Amino acid sequence: MAVGLNVPESLLPVDGMRLATVEAGIRYPDRRDLVLIELAERSSVAAVFTRNSFCAAPVTVAKSHLDVMPPRYLLINTGNANCGGGEQGVADAVRCCRAVADHAGVPVQAVLPFSTGVIGERLPTGPIETAVPKLFDALSENGWLDVYPSKGKKSGA
C-alpha cells in the first residue's frame, strides 16, 4: 500500500459499479475483511496475473473463470491468501464464488475470487458464505470509502 497519502473525504461513484464491505471474521473479529464489487453487465475488464508457476488458488480460479466469461462480481477477502492449499484451496475458492453466484443468479464463472493474507492455511469458507447476503444488502455506488483502507478504520480490505 502506498504510504504518505491522505484519506480522501469523498470518492465519486463510477457508473456501473457498486461496492460493499463487511466483517466476516475470516481471521480477526471486528474487522472489515470481505469486499464485493459488482460490475454492470457487458462491462469490459482486463487482468494481469503472476507468471510464476506457483500461484494461489484464487489466481487459478480467476484465470479459468475469465476464459469462460467476463466477470460480474469480484469477491475479495483479507486475512487468508488461500495459497498453498492445492486442490482443496481451489475448491474453497470456487465454493466462495458459488455462494456469490447463487445469490446473484449468475453462473459461477461470473465471479472472480481474490485473497490476501496468511499463506498456507485453509480458507475458512463458512464465514464468507454466511456474509454473502450481507454484502449484497450493503452494495452501494458510494461504497468506495468503506473499502478504502485507512487509519482509524478497522479495515483489512
What predicted TM-score, i.e. pTM, was given to this entire model? Answer: 0.90
pLDDT digits (tens, 9 = 90+) for 99-137: 999 999 999 999 999 999 999 999 999 999 999 999 999
Question: pLDDT (tens digit, 9 = 90+) per residue, 23-61?
Answer: 999 999 889 999 999 999 999 999 999 888 889 999 999
Q: In angstroms, rounded to a whole number, what is the distance separating the alpha carbons of residues 99 and 132?
A: 7
CA–CA separation, 99 and 12 (whole Å): 29
